[in-house]
Chain A
């Protein structure tokens, strides 16, 4: 599959700049206008406007039936979405923090992910589960995790991690269209970031990596908030004469790894970055794919992974920052990798 670069106004054909959370809201609003089957379920998404302000004015536009406030019952509401999807609705569940998906795992893993397969294809579960993930807000260990690899390990779930405002909208529209359960993980630090976003309901297909920057010496791969950190690191590295590529897979499942193989084969170096703990993480899968393919023969240095610590996310700001890769960490790892070879 071909890769695209979708980070500039010119690429997107628009000058309009909105925030990431506005882009999510716009996607939901447009999907709801276009299709009566689409509705939203979640805690405090109504008058309150969502814990992170994402649902905003949708309640006033669409009313309490379709922007449906729920009790604090994650298992119940995800299950209700599964049931509604089975009989032809297109529910979007907002889980207030992705950590709370743990309360709903039976419905996500045992029900939504497996029903289509288990029933021999007789039914499907077209639902979207959106949830904010990640650290950086001082909310400590039960409100800051990055659990994307858990979901990606379950056959039957699609897993999406939009890194830009345009992708937040375009990938969500594709997720709503999809006949399968799709988990969309939105990094909380991205909600207030801005970027160009087309006004029309332009879909970004699931399963298409984005090459955010093309360089000569090193390929950095990351998702979510690590994309903007890698791009910032790339500027610092450029001043030191190190020219890097930045690739954003955008969807963990389905995974479009061809652009990664292609770019790593060209640069000879791969730095795989994630906020989640490194042990058995998503970048371990990427590393294995490089090792299992002819790409390994093109490496000038061993693959390097830069991950969050194998520890819960702590509260104190200096401890929290030290627990996950920052721009300076990416710069340092990139320099080390280039110097080693």
Chain B
């Protein structure tokens, strides 16, 4: 856990670099895909950087996360290696999953990332189970469980939140409400105002924050992490945010207006944080420019190194199905 990003120089620098790194990584993926240099599909988190970054700032390295199909940001914010991520997306042997998983299945044991997930709500019961293990072993570790608004209507969400509540498990449920489950808006898919209201049904605290405000996200998740670490059980934190890009490559944006997208672009979480820390004098304009440059250079280096790596090797596909004793 770090000092509040909006008031501490080093934390602010780290947070801004993380957000720019996520943005540049996602833009690079978008570009590589558009140019036919990347295979498969991907789900970009441009516009949601403050949610992943603010939440992970509230965690220790030995805390765990579970992530989603839109998971690049969580992965980077928890400390993953950019080159290995990019190598995975570019179908290389040096990728996190040796080309077996791709964008939706990156995990990183070194940073406690238990994995992105291709199934909506698939990671939520897994997060509860990891938290159960931590509690049974009396370790003071916490699990942050990321999922989207769509997942809150899956049975897995309700079963897992209930289990975590009755067993007071050290888990923070972080709902990234980006307004759409693919094309279906939250106005249509929920009869409640805030998804965090669902916490009451399980007897746990729930809170809704501006997910594009890094300090707000950090504050809410920190409080929830403290509560979890103290043995007081789970919290549901809803980060209200927006994805600028489509759901995935097939998205033609038929379900929302250009005006709506423009409105949310104006609430850019990175520029908002930059303006705040410059205004308060926490970071100078020069420092901000250096951070932007470093994010771009880090991403370019990752693409370069990943491109030079050997392609994923099909020779031992069957050997990898089962783990060996």
Contact = CB atoms under 8 A, between A and B. Distances in A.
Contact of A80 (B134, B163, B322): B163
B130 interface: yes
A75 B322 CA distance: 23
A66 B136 CA distance: 9
Contacts of A155: 321
Interface centre among B99, B124, B132, B143 (most CB of A within 10 A): B132
Interface string B144-165: 0000000000011001101100
Nearest to A82: B126
Given A76-B160, A115-B115, A39 B130 contact: no
A79 B160 contact: yes
B27 to A, nearest CB: 26
Nearest to B159: A76
Contacts of A29: none
Contacts, number: 144
Nearest to A83: B129
Interface centre among B66, B115, B117, B321 (most CB of A within 10 A): B321
Contact of B100 (A88, A119, A178): A119
Given A73-B163, A121-B98, A84 B156 contact: no
A87 interface: yes
A115 B128 CA distance: 17
A89 interface: yes
B127 interface: yes
Contact of B136 (A65, A76, A85, A121): A65
Contacts of B143: 83
A62 interface: no
Contacts of A123: 107, 109, 114-115
Given A83-B130, A156-B321, A118 B122 contact: no
Which size bracket describes the interface of A in this complex? 35 or more
Interface in A87-111: 87-89, 91, 106-107, 110-111
Nearest to B171: A83
Contact of A76 (B101, B128, B324): B128
Contacts of B159: 71, 73, 75-77, 79
B124 A79 contact: yes
B133 A111 contact: no
Interface string B105-126: 1011100001101110010111
B325 interface: yes
B114 A180 contact: no
A10 interface: no
B266 interface: no
B323 interface: yes
A118 B123 CA distance: 14
Nearest to A254: B322
Contacts of B107: 119, 122-123
A47 interface: no
Contacts of B131: 83
Given A116-B322, A179-B325, A80 B136 contact: no
A92 to B, nearest CB: 13
Given A71-B163, A76-B159, A178 B325 contact: yes
Given A83-B126, A87-B134, A118-B105, A158 B322 contact: yes
B156 A71 contact: no
B97 interface: yes
B132 A83 contact: yes
Given A86-B130, A110-B119, A179 B125 contact: no
Interface string A47-83: 0000000000000000001100011010111111111
B173 interface: no
Interface in B265-321: 320-321
A20 B309 CA distance: 54
A122 B322 contact: no
Contacts of B130: 83-84, 86-87
Interface in A250-301: none
B311 to A, nearest CB: 14
Given A177-B325, A179-B325, A83 B101 contact: no
A75 B155 contact: yes
Nearest to A103: B155
A54 B101 CA distance: 39
B64 interface: yes
Contacts of B125: 75-80, 82-83, 107
B20 interface: no
B129 A71 contact: no
Given A65-B136, A79-B125, A83-B132, A122 B156 contact: no
B323 A86 contact: no
B135 to A, nearest CB: 9
A110 B122 contact: yes
Interface of A: 39, 65-66, 70-71, 73, 75-89, 91, 106-107, 110-111, 115-124, 126, 155-156, 158, 177-180
Given A83-B125, A110-B118, 17 more contacts: A71-B166, A79-B128, A80-B129, A84-B130, A84-B133, A85-B129, A89-B136, A111-B117, A111-B119, A116-B322, A118-B105, A120-B95, A120-B96, A120-B100, A121-B323, A179-B322, A179-B324
Q: Please give me the 8 A-B residue pairs with the lowest Cβ-Cβ distance, nearest first.
A: A79-B125, A83-B129, A76-B159, A80-B129, A120-B98, A124-B323, A120-B97, A83-B126
22 contacts: A66-B136, A71-B162, A76-B160, A76-B162, A79-B124, A80-B126, A80-B132, A83-B126, A86-B126, A86-B129, A87-B64, A87-B134, A88-B133, A89-B133, A117-B320, A120-B96, A120-B101, A120-B320, A122-B108, A122-B109, A123-B107, A156-B321
Interface of B: 64, 66, 95-101, 105, 107-109, 114-115, 117-119, 122, 124-134, 136, 143, 155-156, 159-160, 162-163, 166, 320-325
